[in-house]
Chains A and B, each alone.
Chain A
Amino acid sequence: MNRIDWKHGKVEMVHGGGGRAMVELISQLFAKEFDNEFLNQGNDGAILAATNGRLVMATDSHVISPLFFPGGDIGSLSVHGTVNDVAMNGAKPLYLSASFILEEGFPLSDLKTIVQSMAAAARDAHVPIVTGDTKVVEKGKGDGVFITTTGIGEVYAGVSVSGNSVKPGDKILVSGSMGDHGVTILSQREHLGFSSELQSDTQSLHDLVESMVNQFPQIRCLRDPTRGGLANTLNEIAKQSSVGITIEESQIPVKPQVAAACEFLGLDPLYVANEGKLIAICPAEYSTELLQLMKQHPKGAESAIVGEVTEDSHCFVQMVTKFGGRRMVDWLNGEQLPRIC
């Protein structure tokens, strides 16, 4: 078997062709980095032990530009994204699968960095990548690398979280500052011509979730406000549960750099993506204690109670502004586009 030239090598069509080159890539990269007993079975799929509880399955495709950004890359993001989706169901993530679509000509050195970053993120989360797939598309038909990950988890006993179970009077908590990931990505796009010291918040949240649901199984809903940000996620929940939501602008944590970038780009931080923050909704009587617990966790140190659920047949999400007025926080309309003046 040939040793892959990581320094100069590029992804070639043969790497997805099923022949020797593909086997070399799998053994010298994926199997080596992801290394676990399930993957090492070397079969077409992983055979996993059954559990007694309720299973959760979640999947997420990752297409991001740039592939590498402060605080992470597409590799770590693809692990965190799916681990978090599983965790937001009140579950402990158990296994991941990973599927790669590589573009012909993509530097193997970059691929190696991405796979190593994925492996590290999976190790940190204690969730093995147990099966995977690689395909190569012709140059110009992809954007370097696309990664789809799927996760399986088991719901913690006695826990039942869902977007359709929140009730008027419930409190809404967030685990930290909003908009860090989205603004970091924007700042990396060359043509915008601004830079910042911001980092993406990409991180797995299942350990935070574990401590939250174990102590407060009364939590009614957990969500990670990714695309569409806090605003869209709250609208989804309001609709699912047929309730209204009122949030307090002054209580929502937003870093000054994020606020400043949104200010001059004409964006609203409430609609900007997060990759390492969660929203929790729980009955009011537990909210203060839940907040304390979240604040003690390193991934929830900046947690805050930002609003409450109301009775509203129109399912409006509204915000009391810092200025003292009130406005709607509507669904994101298409993609957020900057205003002209």
Chain B
Amino acid sequence: MKYIDEFRDGDLARKVSKAISDEVKPGIKYHLMEFCGGHTHAIFRYGLPELLPQNIDLIHGPGCPVCVLPIARLDMAMALAKQENVILCTYGDMLRVPGSGRRSLLKIKAEGSDVRMLYSPADALTIAQENPDKEIVFFAIGFETTTPPTAVVLQQAKALGIKNFSVFCNHVLTPAAMHAILATDSSDEPLKLDGFIGPAHVSTVIGYEPYAIFPKQYGTPVVIAGFEPLDVLQAILMLVRQLNEGTSIVENEFTRAVTSEGNKKANKITQEVFELRDTFEWRGLGFVPHSALQIQESYREFDAEYRFASVLTEYERALKNTPKDNKACECPSILRGAKKPHDCKLFGTSCTPDNPLGSCMVSSEGACAAYYQYGRYQQVETQEIKLEGISA
């Protein structure tokens, strides 16, 4: 495929990989976090860890919209789907994610709720037009990338005067989560994070200006990188160079798609429809201030949280008594880079992609799921080396 294969070229990969190996300083560990699940997926799918020297430690961040959605919000979506006359529409990734009691949208669909998978929120509007006697709720999730399409659909629904359509908004913001991670540095569990591989698609929308604060306030460099494997390798090389030189700035590796101010039109539409929430819960990170969006008052009739307020408040009340994430789950530490998936007792035993317990196992972009599906052999090999060492 033209414009794709060029960024997956094995010969170039070996050259960049060699440059990284040549430039890393022996004895120093470089702790680099790829924020986005798209990067995590690329790293494992293309087998990047094998191309990196031992002292590059990749930390898989929380940039997977499915993984970070808290159980309570998912339970609320399921409560909406169970309302008579409601068709709940959402993205495919969301369907398998377990809420409380290991219930998922797929399971309640099997029990009779009308849950539909979409590729575009525009399809939800079409379903609303085709089913005037039903209430169509679009369960919207995602970072800045998926927010503008939701905003456009809300504007269209308003313009067309559609009365049976609403959005259950769960759009979250990347820079706020990056702040939250950096702010958790404490003497109890010091944060091992030397640099960010910055988001690809998110940055095409918001640009790279919003990241300027991280080098400035925390001294943590950011290199925006595309989702192709060569992009990731190149970004790692750029971060290694910054760290070796002692500089800390925002650099843009993904120049073919990202500008400093991003997509102005998309941002304008987003601002017209959404506003900041005071706080929002992230699975694995807890409540993070100003980290999510809600629908503005002028679009209130299309806001499922307003339209179905009685269902949701009743549900929120009940939720206060429901159990939270499994206590043995190490997702919060894994998302911060303090632990690796195989440091968790649940990993690969009671928590697997078929039966996920923690947030990092629920989507293929989550760190645990990626380790399990693509990288499990490494863990086995490490264990075997250790065992050999002991017996010798």
Q: Which residues of A contact B (CB under 8 A)?
A: 191-193, 256, 259-260, 263, 265, 268, 314, 316, 318-328, 330, 333-334, 337-341
Q: List 16 A-B contacts (CB under 8 A).
A: A191-B123, A260-B1, A263-B1, A314-B377, A316-B376, A320-B47, A324-B51, A325-B47, A325-B229, A328-B373, A330-B372, A330-B374, A334-B96, A339-B38, A340-B66, A340-B94
Known: A256-B1, A328-B374. A339 touches B41 (CB 8 A): yes
Q: Does B114 contact A (CB under 8 A)?
A: no
Q: Which residue of A lies closest to B365 (CB)?
A: A339
Tell me, rounded to whole Å, the shortest Cβ–Cβ distance linking A45 to chain B. 37
Besides A330-B353, A341-B202, 10 other A-B contacts (C-beta < 8 A) = A191-B118, A316-B380, A321-B47, A324-B13, A325-B49, A325-B50, A327-B45, A327-B47, A333-B364, A334-B96
Tell me, rounded to whole Å, the shortest Cβ–Cβ distance linking A192 to chain B. 6
Residues of B within 8 A of A339 (CB): 38, 41, 92-93, 363-365
Residues of A within 8 A of B226 (CB): none
Partner of A337, one of B46, B93, B374: B93
Contact check, A340 vs B142: say whether CB atoms are below 8 A apart. Answer: yes
Contact check, A325 vs B93: say whether CB atoms are below 8 A apart. Answer: no
Residues of B within 8 A of A263 (CB): 1, 4
Contact check, B95 vs A337: say whether CB atoms are below 8 A apart. Answer: yes
Contact check, B354 vs A323: say whether CB atoms are below 8 A apart. Answer: no
Residues of B within 8 A of A265 (CB): 119
Contact check, A340 vs B91: say whether CB atoms are below 8 A apart. Answer: yes
- 1/0 per residue, CB under 8 A from A, across B210-251: the answer is 000000000000000000010000000000000000000000
- 1/0 per residue, CB under 8 A from A, across B295-326: the answer is 00000000000000000000000000000000
Residues of A within 8 A of B353 (CB): 330, 333
Contact check, B14 vs A324: say whether CB atoms are below 8 A apart. Answer: yes
| Chain A-chain B contacts (Cβ-Cβ < 8 Å), number | 109
Contact check, B93 vs A326: say whether CB atoms are below 8 A apart. Answer: no
How distant is the Cα of A316 from the Cα of B377 in the complex, in angstroms? 7
Contact check, B375 vs A327: say whether CB atoms are below 8 A apart. Answer: yes
Residues of A within 8 A of B198 (CB): none
Known: A314-B377, A340-B141, A341-B145. A327 touches B1 (CB 8 A): no
Which 10 residue pairs spanning A and B have beta carbons closest together?
A325-B47, A337-B92, A323-B46, A333-B353, A327-B374, A327-B47, A330-B373, A324-B10, A325-B50, A326-B47
Contact check, B10 vs A340: say whether CB atoms are below 8 A apart. Answer: no
Q: Which residues of B contact A (CB under 8 A)?
A: 1, 4, 8-10, 13-14, 17, 36-38, 41, 44-51, 65-66, 91-96, 106, 117-119, 123, 141-143, 145-146, 201-202, 229, 353-354, 363-365, 372-377, 380
Tell me, rounded to whole Å, the shortest Cβ–Cβ distance linking A289 to chain B. 30
Tell me, rounded to whole Å, the shortest Cβ–Cβ distance linking A3 to chain B. 39
Contact check, B45 vs A340: say whether CB atoms are below 8 A apart. Answer: no
Tell me, rounded to whole Å, the shortest Cβ–Cβ distance linking A308 to chain B. 16
Residues of B within 8 A of A326 (CB): 47, 50, 377
Tell me, rounded to whole Å, the shortest Cβ–Cβ distance linking A89 to chain B. 29
Contact check, B46 vs A327: say whether CB atoms are below 8 A apart. Answer: yes
Residues of A within 8 A of B377 (CB): 314, 316, 318, 326, 328
Q: Which residue of A lies closest to B94 (CB)?
A: A340
Tell me, rounded to whole Å, the shortest Cβ–Cβ distance linking A298 to chain B. 28
Known: A328-B375, A337-B96, A340-B93. A323 touches B1 (CB 8 A): no
Contact check, B373 vs A333: say whether CB atoms are below 8 A apart. Answer: yes
Residues of A within 8 A of B1 (CB): 256, 259-260, 263
Known: A263-B4, A327-B374. A314 touches B380 (CB 8 A): yes
Tell me, rounded to whole Å, the shortest Cβ–Cβ distance linking A141 to chain B. 15
Most buried by A among B36, B46, B117: B46
Known: A323-B10, A328-B376, A333-B354. A338 touches B47 (CB 8 A): no
Most buried by B among A314, A318, A328: A328
Partner of B47, one of A259, A324, A330, A340: A324
Residues of A within 8 A of B49 (CB): 325
Q: Which residue of B lies closest to A319 (CB)?
A: B47
Q: Which residue of B lies closest to A194 (CB)?
A: B119
Residues of A within 8 A of B145 (CB): 341
Contact check, A338 vs B373: say whether CB atoms are below 8 A apart. Answer: no
Contact check, A325 vs B373: say whether CB atoms are below 8 A apart. Answer: no
Tell me, rounded to whole Å, the shortest Cβ–Cβ distance linking B112 to chain A. 14
Q: Which residue of B lies closest to A320 (CB)?
A: B47
Residues of A within 8 A of B202 (CB): 341
Contact check, B363 vs A341: say whether CB atoms are below 8 A apart. Answer: no
Most buried by B among A256, A319, A324, A338: A324
Residues of B within 8 A of A327 (CB): 44-47, 374-375
Tell me, rounded to whole Å, the shortest Cβ–Cβ distance linking B202 to chain A. 8
How distant is the Cα of A146 from the Cα of B51 in the complex, in angstroms? 49
How distant is the Cα of A320 from the Cα of B46 in the complex, in angstroms? 9
Contact check, A323 vs B142: say whether CB atoms are below 8 A apart. Answer: no
Residues of A within 8 A of B363 (CB): 339
Contact check, B47 vs A323: say whether CB atoms are below 8 A apart. Answer: yes
Q: Which residue of A lies closest to B380 (CB)?
A: A314
Residues of B within 8 A of A320 (CB): 47
Contact check, B51 vs A325: say whether CB atoms are below 8 A apart. Answer: yes
Q: Which residue of A lies closest to B91 (CB)?
A: A340
Tell me, rounded to whole Å, the shortest Cβ–Cβ distance linking A229 to chain B. 15
Contact check, B146 vs A341: say whether CB atoms are below 8 A apart. Answer: yes
Residues of A within 8 A of B14 (CB): 324
Most buried by A among B47, B91, B123: B47
Residues of A within 8 A of B93 (CB): 337-340
Q: Which residue of A lies closest to B369 (CB)?
A: A333
Contact check, B376 vs A191: say whether CB atoms are below 8 A apart. Answer: no
Q: Which residue of A lies closest to B354 (CB)?
A: A333
Residues of B within 8 A of A256 (CB): 1
Tell me, rounded to whole Å, the shortest Cβ–Cβ distance linking A92 to chain B. 38
Residues of B within 8 A of A338 (CB): 91-93, 119
How distant is the Cα of A330 from the Cα of B229 in the complex, in angstroms? 20
Q: Which residue of B lies closest to A244 (CB)?
A: B377
Residues of A within 8 A of B48 (CB): 323, 325
Residues of A within 8 A of B96 (CB): 334, 337
Q: Which residue of B lies closest to A193 (CB)?
A: B119
Q: Which residue of B lies closest to A268 (CB)?
A: B45
Q: Which residue of A lies closest to B90 (CB)?
A: A340
How distant is the Cα of A341 from the Cα of B120 in the complex, in angstroms? 12
Known: A322-B8, A322-B10, A327-B44. A340 touches B375 (CB 8 A): no
Residues of B within 8 A of A324 (CB): 10, 13-14, 17, 47, 50-51
Q: Which residue of A lies closest to B65 (CB)?
A: A340
Partner of A192, one of B38, B50, B119: B119
